[in-house]
Amino acid sequence: MSNSNPTEIVELDVRTDEMLVNMGPQHPSTHGVLRLVLRTDGEVVSEAVPHIGYLHRCAEKIGENLTPRQFIPYTDRMDYLAGMNMNLGWALAVEKLLNYDLPDKVRHTRVMISELNRIASHLVGMGTYGLDLGTFSPFLYAFREREKILDLLEWVCGARLTYSYITPGGVTADLPSDWIGKCRTFLDQFEPQIPDYHTLLTTNAIFIKRTAGIGLMPAEMAIAYGCSGPVIRGSGIDHDLRRDGDPRYKAMYEGYDFEVIVQKNGSYPKDQVYPAVPDEAILGDCWHRFYVRMLEVIQAIKLIRQAMDFYEKASGDWGTPIKLNTKLPAGEAYLETEAPRGQMGFYVVADGGDSIPRRARARSSCFSNLSVVEELCRNCLIADIPAIVGSLDIVMGEIDR
């Protein structure tokens, strides 16, 4: 550098160059082990290529060597924030293949438990989204309430994350005797807290600045990439498997009164009670995806309350889980459920005469939701990447399986 002239040095100092930056797999705001390779020029990202597979365990191969009931604990470890919903998806797919009908009590137990898990999952989604955007307090508020849900679920099945509770043929045990009462107490205490979350995040000026108008996903793009769940509903597409899905899955929610959270004709179903959409927000941006999740929590509470009433009136027992060595009939069944992160599909193929399926396939919702990142992050700022990735609310365990 000794013989270069001063102007050249100054130029070297301020000029920006195209640079490849690895974000992850250890970066805290990539929600686990996602690696994004960013092509940046200064603060602007021209390309973001996701690299996945760091958590790959080939669960599908494991499923080809185990009977359906033995595979249940592996489904827990896919989306580990919503283990009950994963159990439910696999259980329903196997029941579809076996053409297995369940007593009403099981149906209401399953609705109750899976919706409770949905709240827990959305609370993590909300809390960590706050973390991604640089605010710590919502995370603590969210985890305080989630802890109570985990306590309730632990009481049901003994585990706090990997439940293996819902199983083909029913559930592994009936609910403890005064569980319903405790759950009701929790909901009564939890529901009034939700306006706090809206004050902390949804209507917070900084939060709106960071999320509104960022990561715009038009409806056509969301469908083309196979996105699902709150991601697709945040783009204004009215699609929820609890209402539009497989007959077997829809039947589970028969008789329940709930709304699909989506913006219709410029307003959300609960617009008058919950904070209004800010002017800056555009349908399909990060703010809308977050907002849909927040409103889904309220719908989940409504569903749990109904399920508790139905459960108390329901006759029958808690189902008979299928035997470990139940022979699977020749055939194949595919069933998708509405997990907290989107449409989780399980596909089971059996040859007949054997209790081990030929193929166990898990269609991951986050896998498709993440594939859109490359397009969303084109020409955005580096600081917006955590906002965009966080708004998709991904869980790597489910993507990599």
Question: Which residues contact another protein (rule: CB under 8 A)?
Answer: 52-53, 56, 58, 60-61, 64, 96-97, 99, 223-226, 232, 237, 239, 244, 246, 331-334, 336, 343, 345, 347, 349, 358-359, 361, 363, 367-368, 371, 400-401
Distance of closest approach, residue 382 Cβ to another protein, in angstroms: 24
Residue located via tokens 């139940």: 326
What are the tokens at 88? 């439910």
Tell me how far, at minimum, the Cβ of 222 lies from another protein, in Å: 9
CB 358, min distance to another protein, A: 6
- Nearest-angstrom CA–CA distance, 9 and 54: 41
* 331 sits in which H/E element: strand 331-339
C-beta of 102 vs 123, nearer to another protein: 102
- Nearer CB in complex with another protein: 209/359: 359
b/e for 389-398, b at 16 or more Cβ within 10 A? bbbbbbbbbb
Nearer to another protein, 109 or 368 (CB): 368
Strands lying side by side in the sheet with 331-339: 331-339, 342-350, 359-363
Closest to another protein by CB, 207 vs 347, is: 347
In terms of CB distance, is 180 or 223 closer to another protein?
Answer: 223
The DSSP result for 334-397, as a single string, is: EEEEEETTEEEEEEEEE-SSBSS-SEEEEE-HHHHHHHTHHHHTTTEETTHHHHHHHHH---HH
Nearer to another protein, 265 or 272 (CB): 265
User: What is each CA distance from 245 to 251, 396, 401, in whole angstroms?
Assistant: 9, 25, 23
In the complex, least distance from residue 36 CB atom to another protein, rounded to whole angstroms: 14
The one-letter amino acid at 164? S
Q: What does the buried/exposed string (b/e) look like for 22-33 if buried means 16 or more CB atoms within 10 Å of the residue's CB?
A: ebbbebebbbbb
Instruction: Give least dist CB 380 to another protein, A.
Output: 19
Cβ 334 to another protein, closest distance in Å? 5
